[in-house]
Amino acid sequence: MTNDIRRIAAEAGEAIMKTYDGPAEVETKEDDSPLTQADRAAHDCIVAALAKLTPDIPVLSEESEGIPIEERLSWNRFWLVDPLDGTKEFIKKTGQFTVNIALIESGEPTLGVVLAPASDLEYFASRGNGAFKRLGQAEPVAIHVSEADKARLRIVASRDHAGPRIATMLEKLPGAELVSMGSSLKFCLVAEGAADLYPRFVPTMEWDTGAAQCILEEAGGALCTLNGYRLAYGREDLRNPSIVAAGHPAIDWKSLMPSN
């Protein structure tokens, strides 16, 4: 099924790129986040394709509307979709935006595809089969987290959401290298061994993390809440708590976390 989801993500990416070169028509959602015609086009493409591929598996997308909480909580298996993760990056035309599609089973991501259509950069994974990266026409290659140099940890900070808690953490790491990236590509940097930690202290949603979590875990990393629990899905509140994407298990990331 992984290749089917890769194909669907690619089709959504094509829908996004059709509007990329022109001026973005931007609306503002109730939570003050931006919404473009590309978000809608990718959502419609993915939802229609998933309904055809797996008509018995419901879909929860960032752009879904009107799904009752009681109905969502009854789902043991569902697709979790962010049709355009990094809308601000899309508007700014940085290329650092992605299509995210995950399969959630019993609260855990078991399949994940993250595609950056502007660069044709793709990450994908499925439970027990490893994690892979593809760039352009090259064949996919297996990826894995890397061993960390504790004196020179590579920390991923969100381009739009870095804040004082990141600064406090960096005070404990004078030799740290700060790596900036947009959208769920931040998690993928850790998965491929290009970074060691990605702490996220400001809110994300389930659809922001599901696909990347599968990729990170299959690459040997972990996505945890600050108390060390694995991030789970299908919750009543779709907002994630503060989280940390960690690469090599030897990294003692808990000791680096700010106290408040």
Confidence of residue 1 (pLDDT cuts 50, 70, 90): very high
Q: What is the mean pLDDT of residues 26-47?
A: 89
pLDDT in tens, 75-98: 999 999 999 999 999 999 999 999
Query: Using CA atoms, how far apart are residues 195 and 148, in angstroms rounded to an integer?
Result: 9
**240: pLDDT strictly greater than 90:** yes
**Do strands 222-225 and 141-143 pair parallel, antiparallel, or not at all (unpaired)?**
unpaired
Q: What is the pLDDT of residue 162?
A: 57
24 token code pair = 């973005």
Q: Dihedral through CA 11, CA 128, CA 218, CA 47, nearest 10? A: 30
Confidence of residue 150 (pLDDT cuts 50, 70, 90): confident
- The overall average pLDDT reported for the chain is 93
**226: pLDDT strictly greater than 80:** yes
Determine the residue type at 209: T
